Structure 1
Amino acid sequence: MNRKNKYQILAVDDSLEMLELLRRNLKSCGYNIITVSSVIDATKVLESTEIDLVITDLQMPQINGIELIKHLKENYKNTGILVITGYPSIKNAVETVKLGAYDYLIKSFTRDELINAVEKSLLTVENQKEKEEENHYQIQIDGIIGNSKAMQAIFKDLLKASRIKTTILLNGETGTGKELVARAIHYNSKESTAPFIPVNCGGIPEALLESELFGYLKGAFTGATETRGGFFQAADGGSIFLDEIHNTSMSMQAKLLRVLQEKEINMIGSNHAQKINVRVIAAANVDLFQLVKKKLFREDLYYRLNIIPISIPPLRERDGDINILIRYFSLKYAKENGLKNPRFTDRVLQILNNYDWPGNVRELENIVHRLVVMSDGSKIDVPDLPVMMRHSIQSHNNLNKSLKEVETEHIQMILAYVGGNKTKASEILGIDRKTLRERLKTIENSLNLIQE
Structure 2
Amino acid sequence: MSQPTRILAVDDSRATLEVIKRNLVPEGYEVYTCERVSEALPLLEDYAIDLVITDYRMPQSTGMDLIRHVRANYPDTEIMMITGYPSIPGAVEAIKDGAGEYLAKPFTTEELLSAVQRIVERLMRRRVLSSGDTPPDNFGIIGSSQEMEHVFQRIGKASSTDANVLISGDSGTGKELVARAVHYNSARRASSFVPVNCTAIPDSLVESELFGHVKGAFTGAKDGRAGFFEIASGGSIFLDEIGDASPNMQAKLLRVIQSKEFSKVGSSRVHKVDTRILAATHKDLRRMVDEGTFREDLFYRINVVDIKVPPLAERGDDILVLVNHFLTKFAKAMHREAPQLTDDALAVLRGYSWPGNVRELENLIQRLVVIVDHDLIDVTDLPDAMRFCLPRAGGSNRSLAEVESEHIQRVLTSVGGNKTRAAEILGINRKTLREKLRRIDGVEGE
Task: Give the TM-score taking structure 2 as reference length.
Answer: 0.62
1:159 aligns with 2:125: no
- Does the aligned pair in 1 maintain the 2:342–2:378 contact within 8 Å? yes
Structure-2 separation of matches of 1:390 and 1:139: 34
Query: 2:186 aligns to what?
Result: 189
Instruction: Verify the 8 A CA contact 2:133 2:142 in the aligned structure 1.
Output: no
- Larger mean Cα displacement after TM superposition, 312-321 or 384-393: 384-393
CA displacement at 1:271 relative to structure 2: 1.9
CA RMSD of aligned residues (A): 3.8
Does the CA contact (< 8 Å) of 1:168 and 1:306 recur in 2? yes
* Pairing of 1:262-277 with structure 2 (within 5 A): 262-277=259-274
Separation of aligned partners in 1, 2:151 and 2:392: 33
Are 1:400 and 2:371 counterparts? no
The equivalent of 2:370 in structure 1 is 373
1:31-75: CA deviation from partner (whole Å, max 9, x where unpaired): xxxxxxxx98xxxxxxxxxxxxxxxxxxxx733784485399532
Q: What letter corresponds to residue 205 of structure 2 in structure 1?
A: L
Q: Report if the CA contact (8 A) 1:139-1:146 is conserved.
A: no
Distance 2:350 2:158 in 1: 31
Mapped to 1, the partners of 2:392 and 2:127 lie a distance apart of 36
SS in 2 for 1:203: coil
Deviates more, 1:385-394 or 1:181-190: 385-394
- Give the corresponding residue for 1:247: 244
Q: Is 1:139–1:147's contact at 8 Å kept on the other side of the alignment? A: no
Q: Aligned partners of 2:211 and 2:404: how far apart in 1?
A: 41
Bigger Cα displacement from structure 2, 382-391 vs 175-184: 382-391
Partner SS state of residue 145, structure 1: coil
Whole-Å Cα distance in 1 between the matches of residues 214 and 298 of structure 2? 27
Structure 1 pair 271/355, CA: closer, same or farther in 2 (3 Å)?
Answer: same
Partner Cα separation in structure 2 for residue 132 and residue 400 of structure 1: 34
CA contact (8 A) 1:341 1:377 kept: no
Residue 203 to residue 141, structure 1, CA distance change in 2 (3 Å): farther
Q: Which residue of the other structure, out of 31, 34, 38, is the alignment partner of 1:63?
A: 38
* 1:203-258 Cα distance to aligned partner (Å, 9 max, x none): 23323333222111111111111000011111110001000011111121111011
Contact 2:128 2:317 in 1 (8 A): no
Q: Distance in 1 between matches of 2:129 and 2:321?
A: 12
Q: Which residue of 2 aligns with 1:75?
A: 50
Gaps of 5+ in 1: 1-38, 41-60, 77-95, 102-128, 421-452
Structure 1 segment 171-186 matched on structure 2, within 5 A: 171-186=168-183
SS state at 2:328 partner: helix
Q: Which amino acid aligns with 1:401?
A: L
Task: Report the alpha carbon displacement of residue 396 of structure 1 after superposing the two structures with TM.
Answer: 11
Match of 1:353 in 2: 350
What does residue 97 of structure 2 align with?
Answer: none
Whole-Å Cα distance in 2 between the matches of residues 136 and 299 of structure 1?
A: 41
The residue that corresponds to 2:326 in the other structure is 329
* 2-structure distance, mates of 1:73, 1:366: 37
Measure the CA separation in 2 of the matches of 1:100 and 1:207. 68
Question: How many Å apart are 1:140 and its aligned residue?
Answer: 6.1
Match of 1:295 in 2: 292
Deviations 1:84-135 (A, max 9, x none): xxxxxxxxxxxx9xx989xxxxxxxxxxxxxxxxxxxxxxxxxxx9998574
1:136 Cα deviation (Å)?
3.9
For 1:248-303, what per-residue CA distance to the aligned partner results, in whole angstroms no more than 9, with x for missing partners?
Answer: 11121111011111111221112222102111000110110100001000010001
CA distance in 2, matches of 1:134, 1:177: 22
Identity %: 44
Kindly tell me: are residues 73 and 296 of structure 1, through their superposed partners in 2, closer, same or farther at Cα, counting changes over 3 Å?
same
Q: Is 2:184 aligned against 1:209? A: no
* CA distance 1:140–1:221, shift in 2 (3 Å): same
- Give 1:280-291 correspondences, 5 Å limit: 280-291=277-288
Gap change, CA 1:130 and 1:312, over 3 Å in 2: closer
Residue type matched to 2:354 in 1? Answer: W
Task: Report how far residue 333 of structure 1 moved.
Answer: 1.3
TM-score by length of 1: 0.61
State the SS of the aligned residue for 1:74.
Answer: coil
Task: Find out whether 1:311 has 2:308 as its counterpart.
Answer: yes
Q: Is the 8 A contact 2:168 2:283 kept in 1?
A: yes
Q: Distance in 1 between matches of 2:351 and 2:37?
A: 41
Residues 313 and 140 of structure 1: CA distance in aligned 2, closer, same or farther (over 3 Å)? farther
In structure 2, what is the equivalent of residue 142 of structure 1?
Answer: 139
Name the amino acid aligned to 1:142. F
1:382-393 alignment runs, 5 A limit: 382-393=379-390
> Cα gap change, 1:353/1:75 in structure 2, threshold over 3 Å: closer, same or farther?
same
Whole-Å separation in 1 of the counterparts to 2:319 and 2:196: 28
Conserved 8 A contact 1:196-1:235 = yes
